[in-house]
């Protein structure tokens, strides 16, 4: 009985540490220029480039805009926090505290999750005001946003695991991964209308499943079954988180 109580106290203590890291990241990094540029301005510019001059109903673009905003915002915090703290020499101080590496990484993931989930509401509101887009399934939309934000935040932390001299190097790596996945994920063109080679690649992107859930929530046809999209987002999230922990442990053991 005492052993189980001790485990509960340990887990609750580590959770509090993760929430403290969330608070620290929110205060220090949410308004950093790289986060605002790569997390907010990128989706706006992509939307304008895709929509302007094309005979596409605005309401059909709203689900893709929501998914794209979620993709960039949730994955923008992770690639900034770790390299910035390594550059400022505060990362070593953090890992020397009695906080587990899992709690530190979880705090960074939660930071991206909150940032992405909150800001994804903006395109939903704008889409409801300026277009005829309507939400057909609010619960599916919430599930898609929450699961997508958690998944993309985990990916962002994974991309931040290599040691780098500055955030710009990690941001470059991050965009080399995020941009190709964006164009094969059914954000701009539904997966069913993409070329055969793109339909084969799209299941490898977690954005494909989040985008499919959001499209379904807005009343459009889905490509993947809902249960498969939810399952794949869970599996991708677990894989990204465990890989992040593994890589951070590896670089830490090498003293990098």
> pLDDT, tens digit, for every residue of 119-137?
888 888 877 787 787 888 9
| DSSP alpha helix (H) spans, 54-131 | 58-74, 78-87, 91-95, 101-119, 121-130
DSSP for residue 186? T
Is the pTM here over 0.75, yes or no?
yes
pLDDT score, position 164: 67
What is the percentage of the chain residues whose pLDDT exceeds 90?
21
CA–CA separation, 191 and 153 (whole Å):
23
pLDDT score, position 224: 92
Domain holding 33, by residue range, is 2-253
| Cα torsion angle, 101, 103, 106, 112, sign | negative
| Range with top average pLDDT, 6-20, 27-41, 49-63, 73-87 | 73-87
> Structural domain tally of the chain?
1
Q: What is the mean pLDDT of residues 94-103?
A: 75
Cα 25 to the chain's mean position, in Å?
A: 15
Contact 75, 153 (CB under 8 A): yes
Of 124, 151, 138, the C-alpha closest to 208 is: 151
CA–CA separation, 162 and 107 (whole Å):
18
Residue 141 pLDDT more than 90? yes
């Amino acid at each position: 009985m005492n052993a189980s109580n001790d485990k509960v106290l340990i887990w609750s203590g580590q959770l509090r540490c993760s929430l403290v890291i969330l608070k620290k990241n929110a205060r220090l990094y949410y308004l950093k220029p790289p986060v605002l540029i790569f997390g907010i301005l990128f989706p706006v510019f992509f939307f304008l480039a895709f929509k302007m001059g094309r005979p596409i109903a605005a309401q059909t673009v709203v689900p893709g805009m929501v998914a794209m905003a979620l993709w960039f915002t949730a994955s923008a915090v992770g690639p900034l926090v770790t390299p910035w703290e390594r550059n400022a020499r505060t990362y070593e101080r953090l890992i020397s505290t009695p906080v587990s590496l899992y709690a530190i990484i979880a705090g960074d993931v939660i930071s991206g999750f909150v940032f992405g989930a909150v800001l994804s509401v903006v395109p939903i509101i704008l889409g409801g005001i300026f277009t005829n887009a309507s939400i057909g399934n609010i619960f599916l939309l919430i599930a898609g946003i929450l699961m997508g934000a958690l998944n993309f935040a985990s990916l962002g932390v994974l991309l931040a695991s290599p040691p780098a001299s500055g955030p710009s190097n990690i941001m470059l790596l991050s965009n080399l991964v995020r941009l190709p996945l964006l164009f094969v994920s059914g954000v701009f063109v539904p997966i069913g209308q993409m070329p055969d080679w793109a339909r084969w690649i799209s299941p490898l992107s977690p954005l494909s499943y989040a985008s499919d859930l959001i499209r379904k929530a807005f009343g459009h046809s889905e490509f993947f079954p809902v249960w498969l999209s939810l399952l794949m987002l869970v599996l991708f999230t677990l894989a990204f988180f465990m890989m992040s922990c593994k890589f951070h442990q590896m670089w830490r053991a090498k003293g990098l």
